[in-house]
Amino acid sequence: MNETSRPLSPHLTIYRWPISMTLSILHRGTGVALSVGLIALVVWLQSIASGAESYQVVMGWMDTLAGRALLLGWSYAFFFHLCNGIRHLFWDAGLGFELRHANASAWFVLVASLLMTVAYWLPFQLTGA
């Protein structure tokens, strides 16, 4: 039998990746990231309770490029998870299931979470803190 005449199985390259599927995967990923961020928050709170030296050690680590990148990522994850959670609340109420509305709300979640992250971090950049 000629191999070129065999039917091809569907593959990811055949189908268009819908934005709702992307947001669903990102929602799960940001939930995991926020769980890890909660551990960092507990470490930070423990350092406050342990005294000034411990607090300075944790704050010194958070003031590095890696620490700031993690804080930026966790804040974006928080705002994305919040906005996408509100989107799901509308879906739970039976609103926004039409494809046009689902796609528009997906793009709104991405843009809104990005703008909220920028709005949160902008005052820190302006004051130099």
41-96: per-residue pLDDT in tens? 999 999 999 999 999 999 999 999 999 999 999 999 999 999 999 999 999 999 99
pLDDT at 129: 65
Handedness of CA 17, 19, 24, 28 (dihedral sign): positive
Q: Is residue 42 part of a domain?
A: yes
* Domain count within the chain: 1
Residue 20 domain-assigned? no
Enclosing domain of residue 64: 30-127
* 15 exposure class (CB count in 10 Å sphere: 0-12, 13-18, 19+): exposed
Asked if residue 109 lies in contact with residue 83, where contact means CB atoms within 8 angstroms, the answer is yes
CA 67/CA 27 separation, integer angstroms: 23
Taking the C-alpha atoms of residue 128 and residue 61, their distance in angstroms, rounded to an integer, is 17
Place of tokens 């944790």: 58
**CATH no. for residue 106?**
1.20.1300.10
